[in-house]
């Protein structure tokens, strides 16, 4: 799947509520329900160009929100750090002989899992 497609869906998860109702409807039909521009045009009884323009405005708005707020970037950074911490925990558990230390490390791992959506 295309990275831009996935990125748009991620942006929508964070900022979709900030779009207009029409932008949300067309965005969801195109990105979430896999309708073509022509199909959306027929279903909503608007021109294909109107669908395209609305979709592009929605995409532009989502990118603007991310540029200004940076929530997706921050989320991805946190997820990467969580993965790094999990790898370090696995290394500690594999090398540690003291059961008390292993228990503490496992508690830390459990708390991290609670943070991970």
Could you tell me the residue range of the domain that residue 82 belongs to?
Answer: 74-115
> What's the whole-model pTM score?
0.78
Contact indicator for 66, 14 with CB cutoff of 8 Å: yes
Overall domain count for the chain: 2
Same domain for 23 and 39, yes or no, is: yes
Phi, psi of 68, deg, nearest 5:
-80, -40
- Here the tokens at position 38 are 């022509």
pLDDT confidence of residue 56: 97
Same domain for 50 and 84, yes or no, is: no
Q: What is the mean pLDDT of each run of 10 residues along the chain (117 residues)?
A: 85 96 97 95 96 97 96 92 88 81 85 77
């Amino acid at each position: 799947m295309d990275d831009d497609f996935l990125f748009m869906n991620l942006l929508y998860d964070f900022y979709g509520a900030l779009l207009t109702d029409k932008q949300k409807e067309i965005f969801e039909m195109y990105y979430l329900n896999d309708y073509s521009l022509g199909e959306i045009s027929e279903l909503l009884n608007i021109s294909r160009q109107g669908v395209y323009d609305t979709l592009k405005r929605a995409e532009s708005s989502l990118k603007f929100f991310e540029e200004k707020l940076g929530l997706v970037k921050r989320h991805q950074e946190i997820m990467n750090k969580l993965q790094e911490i999990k790898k370090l925990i696995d290394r500690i558990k594999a090398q540690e002989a003291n059961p008390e230390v292993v228990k503490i490390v496992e508690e830390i791992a459990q708390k991290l899992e609670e943070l991970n959506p």
